[in-house]
């Protein structure tokens, strides 16, 4: 999957209208990819697409609010109807909510967007990804996943909700999901995740409390603390295009390269239990991908 033959490549990139997603979308379009960008804001999404009009590839905007499972399924249908191949599926959308809010599906919102949406969207699009193999699935994780533990007795923080812990737990779930997915996929489809760095300018904290937003903004002013969106975008693009990740799967990547994730994310029993629990929450059969 080199840049030399990228003109017929298609990537679906959620959270692609701002921050590292927008940076990555532009870079991939510059390399000739068709980038299907997913976001909630139509005006912003169409602006990103218009800015790519002079590039060798293209950016096409698809509007979806990934907090609801019906929207995720509708997005998958739209993608299947719009593209005959999907060489890369990138789960980059994320949020941090200051208060505990449930979606229309009765799921805590941070968990719904950051973990369950990638789980369900992968389930819905996996046939298209596999038919496009060799292909890749990439997820945006966070080093904050190391601060969390999966409490299956209170998986959705119905007791003692804490915004940072809810976000950290959602990224732990996403990381564990990616590693379990890598074990289940055939050899010609890889699944890897990465930590983009601390990016103060991202829209990640748009739903956080005012004190949290001010703290993030202040931290971004400290030299050496924040990461530029382009740096995080470069890490994303590397996992999509670098030949080194064409046959490497189940990797967790930071600025220092491939490192070990937390013990809990790597634990096979925890991953299997999470997979089953996630399937129940989005109402799919947990026995996927199908064994050929």
Q: Which residues are catalytic?
A: 167
- Find out whether 193 and 141 touch, Cβ atoms under 8 Å: yes
How far is residue 68's CA from residue 75's CA, in Å, rounded to a whole number? 11
Q: Give which of 163, 185, 173, 188 is closest to 139, Cα–Cα.
A: 173
Phi, psi of 248 (to 5 degrees): -100, 130
H or E element in which residue 58 lies: strand 58-63
Retrieve residue 80's tokens. 């299947």
- Find out whether 265 and 179 touch, Cβ atoms under 8 Å: yes
- Find out whether 92 and 21 touch, Cβ atoms under 8 Å: yes
How far is residue 272's CA from residue 181's CA, in Å, rounded to a whole number? 10
Q: Give which of 75, 55, 176 is closest to 123, Cα–Cα.
A: 75
How far is residue 195's CA from residue 285's CA, in Å, rounded to a whole number? 30
How far is residue 127's CA from residue 257's CA, in Å, rounded to a whole number? 30
């Amino acid at each position: 999957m080199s840049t030399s033959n990228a003109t017929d490549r298609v990537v679906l990139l959620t959270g692609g209208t701002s921050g590292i997603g927008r940076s990555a979308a532009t870079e991939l379009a510059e390399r000739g990819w068709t980038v299907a960008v997913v976001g909630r804001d139509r005006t912003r999404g169409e602006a990103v697409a218009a800015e790519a009009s002079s590039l060798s590839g293209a950016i096409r905007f698809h509007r979806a609010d990934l907090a609801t499972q019906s929207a995720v399924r509708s997005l998958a249908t739209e993608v299947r109807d719009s593209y005959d191949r999907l060489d890369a599926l990138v789960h980059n959308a994320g949020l941090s909510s200051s208060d505990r809010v449930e979606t229309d599906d009765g799921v805590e919102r941070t968990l719904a967007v950051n973990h369950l949406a990638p789980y369900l969207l992968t389930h819905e699009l996996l046939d298209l990804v596999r038919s496009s193999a060799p292909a890749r699935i990439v997820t945006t994780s966070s080093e904050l996943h190391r601060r969390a533990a999966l409490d299956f007795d209170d998986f959705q923080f119905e007791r003692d909700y804490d915004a940072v812990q809810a976000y950290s737990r959602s990224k732990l779930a996403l990381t564990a999901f990616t590693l379990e997915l890598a074990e289940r996929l055939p050899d010609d489809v890889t699944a890897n995740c990465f930590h983009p760095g601390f990016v103060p300018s991202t829209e990640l904290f748009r739903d956080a409390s005012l004190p949290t937003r001010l703290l993030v903004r202040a931290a971004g002013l400290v030299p050496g603390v924040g990461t530029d969106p382009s740096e995080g975008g470069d890490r994303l693009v590397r996992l999509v295009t670098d030949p080194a990740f064409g046959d490497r799967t189940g990797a967790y990547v930071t600025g220092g390269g491939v490192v070990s994730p937390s013990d809990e994310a790597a634990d096979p029993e925890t991953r299997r239990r999470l997979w089953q629990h996630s399937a129940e929450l989005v109402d799919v059969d947990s026995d996927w991908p199908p064994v050929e």
